Amino acid sequence: GAVVSQHPSWVICKSGTSVKIECRSLDFQATTMFWYRQFPKQSLMLMATSNEGSKATYEQGVEKDKFLINHASLTLSTLTVTSAHPEDSSFYICSAKPLGSLNSPLHFGNGTRLTVT
Amino acid sequence: GESVGLHLPTLSVQEGDNSIINCAYSNSASDYFIWYKQESGKGPQFIIDIRSNMDKRQGQRVTVLLNKTVKHLSLQIAATQPGDSAVYFCAENWAGSYQLTFGKGTKLSVIP
């Protein structure tokens, strides 16, 4: 149980275009999902916390107008990278917290490799 | 042996030996800790967790030790196998927060 599905697993796009990444909790509901970014040989850095039915909370230094987050249901959050540039190329990973759990492990998707050319 | 690269420390062990991966966490208020395993091109996979009211917890072939005095966490893997080769991250969480803060990670390489 507690499977998080992320789609697509990889995407290549041209500079200036937008890319949408989906994160779904398949067998549980999640009021809170998290979006991380990971550069090669580095740790996961939290970008934003996605809350179902309300605005996302962004970490310092993350542009909310560039990384649009929508969490319209208890099983789906999307991250849209708008006007992507080569420096946005990274590994984006989402995670979800089951409804009603506080101190319990986050379940992670398998990530999306974004390459902007 | 253990070496520190530009970004990611690396630990090389012989197959069958025990591995010890260390982590220093940052927040003395953290009360929940998790070890994750990340294979290349994949998301983190839960290994084991421990709460701050414990100092040791064992799983299958893995043991986590917590020393709150010096804010140190370790992961011990018994009889390390080639399939254990991956990057290992510790993560901390504090009461009332849903967020996890990840450590820098250690790359474990198992020599057959």
Mean pLDDT of A66-76: 92
pLDDT of residue A102: 62
Mutate to test the interface with B, among A43, A45, A114, A115 (most CBs of B within 10 A): A43
pLDDT of residue B7: 64
pLDDT of residue A114: 98
Q: Given a cut of 50, is residue B3 above it in pLDDT? A: no
- Quickly list DSSP for A31-92: SEEEEEEE-TTS--EEEEEEETTS--EEPTT--TTTEEEEEEETTEEEEEE-S--GGG-EEE
pLDDT of residue A110: 95
Contact criterion met (CB < 8 Å) for A105 and B49: yes
Radius of gyration of chain A (CA): 13
Closest residue in B to A48 (Cα–Cα): B99
Q: Which residues of A touch B93 (CB under 8 A)?
A: 103
Instruction: Answer with the residue of higher pLDDT: A105 or B101.
Output: B101
Mean pLDDT of A52-70: 93
Contact criterion met (CB < 8 Å) for A110 and B98: no
pLDDT of residue B97: 73
